[in-house]
Chain A
Amino acid sequence: MKWLFSGALVALMGATGLSQTRALAPVAPRLLSETGLYAGEGTRVVDVRNRPFAPQYPLWSDGAGKRRWVQLPPGSRIDVSNVDRWDFPVGTRFWKEFDFDGRKVETRFLWKVSDSRWVFASYAWNEAQTDAVLVPESGSPEVADVAPGKRHSIPSRTECRSCHDSSRTEILGFSALQLSDDRDPNALHADRLPADAVTLRTLVDEQLISPRRNEFVATPPRIDAATPQARAALGYLSTNCGSCHNRESSIASLGLLLKHELRGDKPLGVSSPRCTPALATTAGRKGHWAVPANPAESRVINPGKPELSALIQRLRSRRPSSQMPPLGTVVQDRAAVELLTAWVKSNPEGWALLAATCGAGRS
């Protein structure tokens, strides 16, 4: 009788398009200690298969300390045929640990479980700092103090994906530019590179990428900018804004392209050698949001005038209708505001030329 009932049920499920496939899909374990990050029991020792890395331009997360690890399946390689959109082998795992004042708060876990699917999970550390528990899809609000009256929240799965699904690769901090051995000494909030960290040279030497790219070692990627200050500023924008503002994002139609791409960051058909997308789509351009004090003069970047540059004003803001980035931070990044303000103020003649050359016909 039971098998007949099951047979009828399967027939009904088939007719309605339901299947059990989803129920069998891999899901994140309940505890961080079960994700493969640590060796043995507990969370004391990181498994040696998990290699640390540190992107040269880290994301601002209200001053959180961060540690990151990657694990590639044995014998596998990252497909870097497209230098800007790496394709990771199924089974790849990434972890990012956040701490405030040395106290671990959360660890995020990305796990590639099929050719087209990554599992996203966040784990909240317990009081005893012995393990971390899977956070519901809706996230967990206000889990740690980061400043007077300001608290860190663990983002929802939807919020995670709003950035990580904004280009053809879900992994944001593990790319040719971020792992380049030609690291920017002026990059803001850069983490000290662990002695055994994975870098671009490591990936080439250990044959962890395919095809082999000797140019990653011979001429490591770097942002070609007019000054060291501009290089650091563009690197900051690439990480903190470019995750969403890039040519593959669902908001590409807004016309802001701030992600640095090795292949795509070429001059845009104009004579200036530095008329790259990040500059061409900001310098002298009107944006969707205007500086309230003077909407007529507002530009995304108003050369020489940070007070009339929407990019600077939104970076400064932590008010609900103007803050950028809009999530993942509740405290202004003062160092970034100072760097970008000084950058916009610097060399007004050069900026004006850039705006005229790159921005012609675009405002």
Chain B
Amino acid sequence: MKKSDLIFTTALIAAAIILTSVLATATVGATSAEPAQAAAGTIARGKFLVDIMGCHDCHTPWKIGPKGPEMDMSRALSGHPEELTMPPAPALPPGPWVASAAGTMTAWAGPWGVSFTMNLTPDKETGLGDWTLEQFIATMKTGKDRGKGRALLPPMPYFNLAKLSDEDIASVFAYLQSLPPMKNRVPQPIDPPEGR
């Protein structure tokens, strides 16, 4: 065996031993961690993902504040306000403009009809309170309601979230389930007029 080969082999074996011991240490650390700490870490990770992925952009209603449009965090992630009944969507002229949005950013009209952003708080009747983790992961992965129902409608970018690992989606779910439940019954989507 050449000297260079020997050095390379030794280095590889050493790397394997170090990696094994590091992983073993990590595993031991994880199993001995307090469950509450682990849960808090999961929720914190979920909050981070929800914040950076733009979930608030549409699931938290916007309002006009002193400095212009701002999110109404008193209704954070509760979806389209139940009391805000939208008039019929404006008929757009032929051309490149294809969609309209409410000022709250919670109602969107386009060729798909009218979609309303969902209440993501864990209210049992109007939000995610009766959802299971399995259903939530399936929804994000397939773009279908609970993984089996109707297609999620624009502008929900489920195809981006589908790239998350199951663990990250579970973190998002854990965070959403940790929010205070808010009763807010979001309207069901409205089909586009016949012929469109």
Shortest Cβ distance from residue A324 to the other chain B in the assembled complex, whole angstroms:
8
A11 to chain B, nearest CB (A): 4
Q: Is the CB of B23 within 8 A of A8?
A: no
**B103 close to chain A: CB less than 8 A:** no
Chain A contacts with B in 306-337, Cβ cutoff 8 A: 317, 319-323, 326-327
Give the nearest-CB partner of A159 in chain B.
Answer: B142
Interface string of B1-24 (1 = CB under 8 A from A): 100010001001101110110010
Q: Which of A244-259 contact B (CB under 8 A)?
A: 244, 249-251, 253-254
Q: Given that A320-B153, A321-B191, A322-B191 are contacting pairs, would A8 and B16 also be in contact in the complex, using a CB cutoff of 8 Å?
A: yes
Of the four ranges (under 10, 10 to 19, 20 to 34, 35 or more), the interface on chain A belongs to 20 to 34
Residues of B close to A163: CB separation below 8 A: 148
Closest chain-A Cβ to B51's Cβ sits at a distance in Å of: 28
Given known A16-B23, A250-B134, A292-B190, contact A320–B151 (CB-CB < 8 A): yes
In the complex, A21→B113 CA distance in Å? 47
Contact A15 B144, CB 8 Å, known A8-B12, A320-B113: no
Q: Are A16 and B19 in contact (CB under 8 A)?
A: yes
Give the size of the chain B interface in residues (CB under 8 angstroms). Answer: 34
| Most chain B beta carbons < 10 A, residue from A249, A254, A290, A320 | A320
Give complex CA distance A158, B79 in Å: 28
Against A, the Cβ 8 Å flags (1 = close, 0 = not) of B111-154 are 01101000000000000001010110010011010111111010
Please give, as numbers and ranges, the residues of chain A lying within 8 Å of B146 by CB-CB distance: 250-251, 254
A172–B4 CA distance with the chains assembled, in angstroms: 61
Please name all residues of chain B whose beta carbon is closer than 8 Å to the beta carbon of A319 when the two chains form the complex. Answer: 113, 191-192
Q: Binary interface profile of B, 56-78, with partner A (CB < 8 Å = 1, else 0)?
A: 00000000000000000000000
Q: Once the chains bind, are A11 and B112 in contact (CB under 8 Å)?
A: no
A166 interface residue per 8 A CB criterion: yes
- Let me know if A4 is at the binding interface, CB within 8 A: yes
Do residues B188 and A289 form an inter-chain contact, with CB atoms below 8 A? Answer: yes
A320:B144 contact, CB within 8 angstroms: no
Contact A321 B19 (CB under 8 A): no
User: Could you tell me if A166 and B192 are in contact, using CB atoms closer than 8 angstroms?
Assistant: no
> Which of B135, B189, B192 is close to A250, meaning CB atoms less than 8 Å apart?
B135
Interchain nearest-CB distance for A249 vs B (Å): 7
Is A23 engaged at the interface, CB distance under 8 Å to the other chain? no
Contacts A1-B9, A5-B9: A321 and B189 contacting too (C-beta < 8 A)? yes
Determine if A162 and B142 form an interchain contact, defined as CB atoms under 8 angstroms apart. Answer: yes
| Inter-chain contact A321/B148, CB cutoff 8 Å | no
Alpha-carbon gap, A321 to B186, bound state (A): 14
Interface residues of B in 83-118 (CB under 8 A from A): 112-113, 115
User: What residues of A have a CB within 8 angstroms of the CB of B142 in the complex?
Assistant: 158-159, 162
The answer to whether A268 has its CB under 8 Å from any CB of chain B is: no
Q: Is A360 an interface residue (CB 8 A)?
A: no
- Evaluate contact between B9 and A8: CB separation under 8 angstroms: yes
A321 adjacent to B113 (CB under 8 Å) = yes
Q: Could you say which of A15, A250, A253, A317 contacts B16, with CB atoms under 8 Å apart?
A: A15
A54 to chain B, nearest CB (A): 26
Instruction: Name the one of B20, B115, B138, B148 contacting A326, with C-beta atoms under 8 angstroms.
Output: B148
B192 contacts A249, C-beta separation under 8 Å:
no
Q: Whole-angstrom distance between the alpha carbons of A322 and B153 in the complex?
A: 11
Which residues on A sit within 8 Å (CB–CB) of B134? 250
Cβ of B171 to closest chain A Cβ, rounded Å: 20
Known interface pairs A15-B20, A250-B135. Does A326 touch B151 (Cβ–Cβ under 8 Å)?
yes
Q: How far is the CB of A293 from chain B (nearest CB, A)?
A: 12
**CA of A298 to CA of B135 in the docked complex: distance in angstroms?**
25
Q: Kindly list chain B residues whose C-beta atoms are within 8 Å of the C-beta of A15.
A: 16, 19-20, 23
Asked if residues B1 and A1 are in contact (CB atoms below 8 Å), the reply is: yes
Smallest Cβ-Cβ distance to A317: which chain B residue: B191
* A251: B residues at CB distance < 8 A: 135, 146-149
Within 8 A of B (CB), among A58-82: none
> How close is B39's CB to chain A, nearest CB, in angstroms?
23
Asked whether B150 lies within 8 Å of A11 as measured between CB atoms, the reply is no
Find chain A residues with CB under 8 A from B141 CB.
Answer: 158
Decide: B13 and A326 in contact? CB cutoff 8 A.
Answer: no
A selection of 26 A-B contacts at a CB cut-off of 8 Å is A1-B9, A4-B9, A4-B12, A4-B13, A5-B12, A8-B9, A8-B13, A11-B13, A12-B12, A12-B15, A12-B16, A15-B16, A16-B19, A16-B23, A244-B148, A250-B134, A250-B138, A250-B148, A251-B146, A254-B146, A292-B190, A319-B191, A320-B150, A320-B191, A322-B189, A326-B150
Give me the 7 closest cross-chain CB pairs, A-B, nearest first.
A321-B189, A8-B12, A11-B16, A319-B191, A15-B20, A4-B9, A244-B148
Q: A292-B191, A326-B144 are known contacts; what are 19 more A-B pairs with Cβ within 8 Å?
A: A1-B5, A5-B12, A7-B13, A11-B16, A12-B19, A158-B142, A159-B142, A162-B144, A250-B138, A250-B148, A251-B149, A253-B132, A319-B191, A321-B112, A321-B113, A321-B150, A322-B189, A326-B149, A326-B151
